[in-house]
Structure 1
């Protein structure tokens, strides 16, 4: 991996073509430039003039946003060892990449953005045909906004048969199109119909799960349900992302475009973050709504902190994440008691986890050990996932799966894809789940999922 301050694109491409011909294999080049500040949502919207494969990520806790347009390379995995397979593909690309990046900011240069499905063994593809089991994309063009500054990364896979001037002209044309932005107002979609998918059947599945838990078949299982909505016209994704960011400021905002479909959401749940080998994970489980007044809000929060069912659910997550983190990190620090994590519509029990990632491990190693946490699958891990596969009435696809990014400096962050929707032209499927234990009440769990659907409903045609 070569880092240099040279940024003359024509010279770089010429050298890459010579190298590709010499070794008779493709050569990835990556060039990073600092540019005048650009609004990420305008860039996301305008990116469709270049390519309809767009990617969006905004951090929940810092001024950090990435927008990818187009594809330099995609990392797919087809085996059950998908995280290791993607890591192996990434290592190969990273080893041979030539990177011109004098800034060294995280999220610039060679960055892969994307996600994984919840269950690699799920065979029913519908309605997720556009989203394979795993798909991490190295964008052709990547806007990184960090602490008020904008950086544009250009990633190009050079082949032996490529012509220098043709590549130079194409990049210049794409840069001009991407950076010639004109501000305009975004329109949110107008909803025309809403339908719940078999709510009574879902409640019956919750009751069946409580019976199975009492029989000792498993300790906990998370069951999700689906809400379908339609619109008067195709959804414009940039407006939805901007509205989510404005209304869910404590959440990760994500959007992935693939073959004309969008998977978007605002998730509060970090899975893991690695920044200069500092590992941070999050235990987020146990949920109640926000109150209509400050007094009611505080009352609901106090009840959540002392509710046996929610505390038990939260402790399941803490213990599992602790075990997973200790397997690949040292200096593990976990507070003894959770605190409240407030969002616009909900408040959760929250326990942070901090550690130092051991040498030789990457963020994908951590994700492999963590996914799925008891907050998204249940306990025991394997039994709960198998139970979901056979008893849940929907195909989760990327819902509740790990989504995020990593870069060539071994930084990265993944969240859990909840509070999300799969948008297909003028319709969408929204998903929400809840943790079922032996004393769960089906109606109460149904009402909890209704609250969890609100963040996405609020930007997809109102409540």
Structure 2
């Protein structure tokens, strides 16, 4: 990758074009620091400019990425993680970057995700979501520690005119950075269809029989609820409401035309900053109490509940095994803590380590996904059961979503507490960990609790 320090847009483009190989193209990326920008206004205006929008934020860290349009698409259908990484590395080799800031998530950034199980037969519901897909946005806004950075990414060819391209970039920059938000109206749910609830409960029973008769310890089963809304949902408004109601979450949106995969997940899969690895073990769930005393009682029961502690330990042990060949200095506490969210509370264990040189965030993701919290344990057997018996195509639900940059930083979360919005309809997804003594009715109720965050914002609740 070529690093340029020239600040003039036209000069950067001219140099990139002058040194391009004949009959080829290259990515040019230009980053500048800007005054404070309303991230939701940027997301709102992006729809007027391009048909593809991306949003990612870690609310606990006040870190946000907002993308508009697509300069480059990285899509892989076979050997997806290895293929995607090879395409990414090839892209960076010939790219031109003008980014003087050592800030994660600036410069050349790819944002996207993957399907939970690429071997599961794909349905029409997920037609616009590939087994793995990363987008390098044409325009990217990065909020980091209350500072704001704007990146323009453009693919140039040898016969392009630098001045014409520069003028186009400046026009769209002004529109993106200077507009005010125009939030859509709240939606209300006018119809709800739980997909085959009785058959789902029978599948839970089938899973408990499988566990009792084999060496499988846990199988995670998900289900789908299809909603009818009174109007087309505005994803910007949904993001705004998730930001207001789901603190300590990763809020994401991947929008292509009328399809938008969106959610607020509490579960980090992995984060890399300057070779330091951070991850989260999040398994074991209970509702919040209506009073402080009730909340404390539920928290105490969650912490001491054998089933939930067992589920959580599955995740912790898998995490350690998955990263130990890629990392050194692994630190994992002996016991979890209870992690409260607005509607739910979870058992939580943080993980830190040092990533070995030569390994990447995609190496870690490939080895971690799916965690026992989303697939089960042992992994191969539990995923095989899900593939054969689960009543839905999960698509990107329960799978890694996030970003990586050209300086080996990145962060991915597990896409739970999420839904796929399609105009005035939406599919919401929720799952639960089935073990040998699971009760189908109790597991069904647990999924209802996990549906609450997305149901609330689509129903127009504050």
Calculate the TM-score normalised by the size of structure 1: 0.97
Give a deviation string over 1:210-239, Cα, whole Å, max 9, x none: 011101152210000111111122111101
Aligned to 1:215: 213
Please give the secondary structure, in 2, of the residue aligned with 1:127: helix
Aligned to 2:103: 105
Aligned to 2:51: 52
**Pairwise mapping of residues 270-281 of structure 1 onto structure 2 (< 5 A)?**
270-281=268-279
Q: Is residue 186–residue 460 contact of structure 2 (8 Å, CA) maintained in 1?
A: no
Aligned to 2:76: 77
What is the distance in 2 between the residues matched to 1:461 and 1:365?
39
**Pairwise mapping of residues 212-251 of structure 1 onto structure 2 (< 5 A)?**
212-216=210-214, 218-251=216-249
- Which consecutive segments of 4 or more residues in structure 1 shift more than 3 A? 183-186
What is the distance in 1 between the residues matched to 2:6 and 2:60?
33
Q: Aligned to 1:317, which of 299, 315, 318?
A: 315
Give a deviation string over 1:45-82, Cα, whole Å, max 9, x none: 11111101100000143011000001110111110x21
Aligned to 1:410: 408
Give a deviation string over 1:144-177, Cα, whole Å, max 9, x none: 0112111100011112232323322321221122
Aligned to 1:377: 375
Aligned to 1:9: 9
Q: Is residue 126–residue 395 contact of structure 1 (8 Å, CA) maintained in 2?
A: no
Q: Is residue 284–residue 308 contact of structure 2 (8 Å, CA) maintained in 1?
A: yes
Please give the secondary structure, in 2, of the residue aligned with 1:119: coil
Give a deviation string over 1:8-47, Cα, whole Å, max 9, x none: 1111111222222x34321111111111111111110111
Please give the secondary structure, in 1, of the residue aligned with 2:444: helix
Aligned to 1:360: 358
**Pairwise mapping of residues 47-196 of structure 1 onto structure 2 (< 5 A)?**
47-79=46-78, 81-196=79-194
What is the distance in 2 between the residues matched to 1:301 and 1:23?
64
The yes-or-no answer on 1:37 pairing with 2:20 is no
Q: Is residue 131–residue 258 contact of structure 1 (8 Å, CA) maintained in 2?
A: no
Aligned to 1:338: 336
What is the distance in 1 between the residues matched to 2:445 and 2:124?
26
List gaps (5 residues or longer) in structure 2.
Answer: none
Q: Is residue 60–residue 268 contact of structure 1 (8 Å, CA) maintained in 2?
A: no
Q: Is residue 30–residue 154 contact of structure 1 (8 Å, CA) maintained in 2?
A: yes
Please give the secondary structure, in 2, of the residue aligned with 1:105: coil
Calculate the TM-score normalised by the size of structure 2: 0.98
**Alpha-carbon distance, 1:124 to partner:** 2.3
What is the distance in 2 between the residues matched to 1:288 and 1:114?
30
Give a deviation string over 1:257-296, Cα, whole Å, max 9, x none: 1243000000000000001111011110000000000000
Q: Root-mean-square deviation (CA), in Å?
A: 1.2
